[in-house]
Structure 1
C-alpha cells in the first residue's frame, strides 16, 4: 500500500514545471520527538526531522528516505523505483514557514544595525525511521518536477547500550573566516572518514551578524556547513548574536524537537543513549540585552526545574545530565562576562541542586575546562595527573567557543587560574565521548594542526546531588 502511494506521487512528476526558486538549500537534520524524554507513543514515530529553505513556497516539495545505497548498486531514482528492494519512507510535511522581513531593523548590542529585506520559505518534514540502520540516504525534491538533492545521514540509537561508546561534536562561535575555514577543513576530513558521531551540539553564534546583506550572510554560512548539518543531527542552542528581533528570525529558521507550534527554542531536552541533554537560552536573563521578560524568565525557570527533576528520576537510564547553552555562568579572560554568575545565579543553583554533570557553553572564543563550580567558588574533586577528575562535587563548565571567527583576540581582563583545568585558543572543536555510566572523555581538536589535544577524563558516581538537593523523590514517584 505504501509503495503504491509513493508510485502515485512519483507519477505526478510530469505535472509540475521546473522552477529554480524551488532549489532546496540550508539543509539540516535534527532529532525528532522520539528522543524527547516525555515521548509516550506506543509506536515509533517522528524519529528524524529534516528542514530546508526555498525562495518560493514550492508546495509540491517532498523528501524520501531509504537505507544507504551499497557501493556498486544502482542509485535510487524515480525511473527505477520498482527495482529497489528497500522500502523508502516518505516524509510527513509538517509545515512550510514563511520568513518575511520588510525593512525591520536588526542590530547586535545596538550596533551594526541594518534594515533587512528577506523572504524565504522553510520546509519542515518528519520521518518514522525506527527500522532503519544507523546510516541512510535521503533525497530532497524542492518541487515535484525537480531533480533531487541527495544526502547521507546518521541517526543515533535512543536507548543506552552498555557496550557502545557515544560520541558528539560540540562547538560554537563560528563563521566563514580564516579561522573558521580551518575548522570546516577539519570537519570535512571527518566526513571523508565516515565518522558516525551521534550528533552536533552547536552552542550558539552562527555566521556572526547573520542578518548582514539582507540575511544572505547567514544563508551562505548554513550552505557552507550543509555537508555537516545534513549528515549528523544538528541541535542548535541560540547565542547572543541571534537575539535580533527577540530571536524571531532564528526561531523561524531552526525548529528543535518539533517545537513548530511555539516557534521557540528557549528550552528543550532530549535523551540519546546514556545522556539527558537540556538546552537553555540564558539570554533572557542578561541585563541590558533588550530581551528580558519576567514572564518568560519565570516560565523558563519552571521548565528547567521540572525537566531536571524528571531527569533525576530517570537517572538509571540516563545517568549523565548535560546542559547546552551559549554564555557561560563562570568566566575568565573577558570583561563582558565577569558578572555572569550574578545574572545566572538561579541556574547555578538549579544545576547544583539537581546534579547536573556538565554545562557546555561557548561565547568566549577559546576552549576552556573549568573545575567544578558553585556560588562563585570551586567545589571538591579529586585529580589524577592533570587530565583526570574523579567525583566532582558540582557541575563542570566546558567552553567550546573556538570554532573560528574574526574575533579571536584574547585579553585577560579578568582571570582566576584556580578555576581553570585547561585552556586553548586555537580554532577547533570538541568531541564528547560517553564511555559508560560513570566515565566520559573530552577531546579537543586543533583545526590548525589537525591534531587532538590531551583528553580530559571525568569519572562520576553521580552521588553529589543526592546529599545536596531537597527533592522528595517518593512524592514524585507517586505522581
Structure 2
C-alpha cells in the first residue's frame, strides 16, 4: 500500500496555485552510485509536494510504493529573476536489474508514467552507454534516434559530456526549460549522467548546478561512480577557464581527483573494477580548425596552469586511466593511444590491444545551433579517425578486459561509421611498460 505519509501529501492544499504551474515537467533520472536506488528530478513553477509513486513491472495496476523528497527554490540570474522549484526524490530498496514504472508529482498534478531498469550490482555484467556532448535545444539532430533507442532499452546509462541547450540561461532560463522538456523522453527512462561545459558558465553555472542531481556533494561539478567493471570519473574542465568564480576550485578538484584515483587504484578496488574512465568537456588534444584550447600544443586542460600546475595529462597517466571521453568539438575524433604527443599503440596490427597510453575519444556532434566543426586539412600523426557528421557514440564495457566503442552517424541514417575494441590484459600504470 502507498505509505500513510504519501497519502497525507496527496490531500488537496488550500490556496494552491493554478494547476498549470505545479504540473511536473522536465523529469529525469540520475544514478546515485548505489544499485538499490535511483534519483528522480523534476521541475514545477510553484511550490508543490515532492513524491514518486512506483512499482515493479510487471505488477499490479496500482502503484505499490511511494517515496518523498524535497524541492529547492531556484532563482535564475537573468533580469526577470524567474523562479522554479527543482524536486528531488531518491527511490530506495530497489532490486538491481529489476524494471520499475513510476510517476512523480503530487495530488496537485502528476507526470505521465515512465519506466526504468535499476542498474545491476557487482562487476560481472556488461553496461551499455550512449556518449555525446554538445546537444542543444535548436538543431538537436541526434535526439530523435536517441529517444527511440533509450525507450527500446538499448542503454543502461546516458553520458552527456557537457554543453546543454545552448544555453540553459538564455531567455531568462526558458531555453533551459525547453531543453529539459526535450530530453525527458530519454532522461526519464535512463539515468542521465552529466558534466559541465563552457555553455553552462553563466551565473556561475547556476542552471547546471541546480537542474542536475549527480552523486556526491559538489553540485554535480565533479563526482565518480562504479558501474560494472569500470570506475567512471566526471570532472569539470571549466575550472581552468573561469577563474573569476574562484581559483581555489582548480585546487579543490585536483586534490579530489588524485584522492579518487588513489582509492580506485587500490589493488582490491582495481581488481574488481580495472577500467578507469574519465569524462570531461574540453579535450586535451584535437585536430579541429577552430583555435580552441585543444588545438594549442600547450593545452591548458592537458598541462594545467602556467608552470604545469594541476596538469591533468600527467595525473591521468600516473594512475593508468584507460579511456578519456571528451566533447566540445562538434565532430568525432578517435586518437591513437597517446601521451605527451607520442603514440603508444599496442602493436601495428592491433593498436588498441594492450596500448601503452590512454585512449581519447572526442564525441561532440549530437547537434546544436553552432553546427559542425571542421578539421585542419591534414590529420595529425596521433589522430586515427576524424568524422564530420552529426551523431553519437555507443560504448559497452563487456568485461574486465574488453570495451567496445562505435560511432553512429545520424546524417547517414544510423550507420556505424567507426568502431574499435579496446582490449587490456593489464590495467594501471604498469600497463604502460
Q: TM-score, normalised by structure 1?
A: 0.81
Q: Choose which of 57, 62, 73 in structure 2 pairs with 1:68.
A: 57
For the residues of structure 2 that align with 1:468 and 1:441, how far apart are their CA atoms? 20
Aligned to 2:265: 312
Does 2:182 correspond to 1:221? Answer: no
Residue number in structure 2 paired with 1:374: 339
Q: What count of residue pairs does the alignment treat as equivalent?
A: 417
1:170 alignment counterpart: 131
SS of 1:252's equivalent in the other structure is: helix
Q: Find the aligned partners of 1:444 and 1:177 in 2 and give their Cα distance.
A: 22
| Aligned residues of 1:329 and 1:341 also touching (Cα < 8 A) | no
The match for 1:39 is: none
Q: How does 1:248-327 map to 2 (within 5 A)?
A: 248-259=206-217, 262=218, 264-286=219-241, 289-291=242-244, 293-313=246-266, 314-327=269-282
* 2:176/2:207 contact within 8 Å kept: no
State the Cα distance separating 1:367 from its structure 2 match: 1.2
Deviation at 1:8, TM superposition (A): 5.9
Q: 1:117 to 1:169 in 2, by over 3 A?
A: same
Instruction: Say whether residues 1:424 and 2:404 are aligned partners.
Output: no
Shift of 1:195: 1.9
Residue equivalent to 1:405: 368
- The residue number in structure 1 matching 2:23 is 23
Closer, same or farther: CA 467–277 of 1 in aligned 2, 3 Å: closer
Runs of 4 or more consecutive aligned structure 1 residues displaced over 6 Å after TM superposition: none
Distance, in Å, in 1 between the alignment partners of 2:100 and 2:61 is 13
What secondary structure is seen at the aligned counterpart in 2 of 1:384? coil
Q: How does 1:343-362 map to 2 (within 5 A)?
A: 343-344=300-301, 345=303, 346-362=311-327
Q: Work out the CA distance in 2 between the residues paired with 1:242 and 1:14.
A: 38
**1:291 positional shift:** 4.0
Equivalence for 2:308:
none
SS at match of 2:27: strand
CA contact (8 A) 1:390 1:460 kept: yes
**Paired residue for 1:461?**
425
Give yes or no for the alignment of 1:100 onto 2:75. Answer: yes
Contact 2:52 2:102 in 1 (8 A): yes
Instruction: Quote the Cα distance in structure 2 between the aligned partners of 1:389 and 1:249.
Output: 39
Q: Secondary structure at the match of 1:91?
A: strand
Query: Which residue of structure 2 aligns with residue 472 of structure 1?
Result: none
Aligned counterpart in structure 2 of residue 125 of structure 1, from 78, 89, 110: 89
Distance in 1 between the 2:429 and 2:97 partners? 37
| Shift in alpha-carbon separation, 1:8–1:201, aligned structure 2, 3 A | closer
In structure 1, how many angstroms separate the alpha carbons of the residues matched to 2:319 and 2:278? 12
In the TM superposition, residue 467 of structure 1 has moved relative to its aligned partner by 6.7
Instruction: For structure 1, list consecutive stretches of 5 or more residues without a partner in the other structure.
Output: 36-43, 78-87, 104-114, 470-479
1:450 counterpart = 2:414: yes
- Asked whether the equivalents of residues 100 and 119 of structure 1 are also in contact (C-alpha less than 8 Å), the reply is yes
* 1:331–1:340 Cα contact (<8 Å) kept: no
CA distance in 1, matches of 2:62, 2:228: 32
Change (3 A) 1:120 1:458: same
2:44 to 26, 50, 54: 54
Q: Is the 8 A contact 1:394 1:464 kept in 2?
A: no
- Rounded to whole Å, the distance in 2 between the matches of 1:291 and 1:157 is 41
Q: Please tell me whether the aligned partners of residues 6 and 51 of structure 2 are also in contact (alpha carbons under 8 angstroms).
A: no
Q: CA deviation at 1:424?
A: 1.2
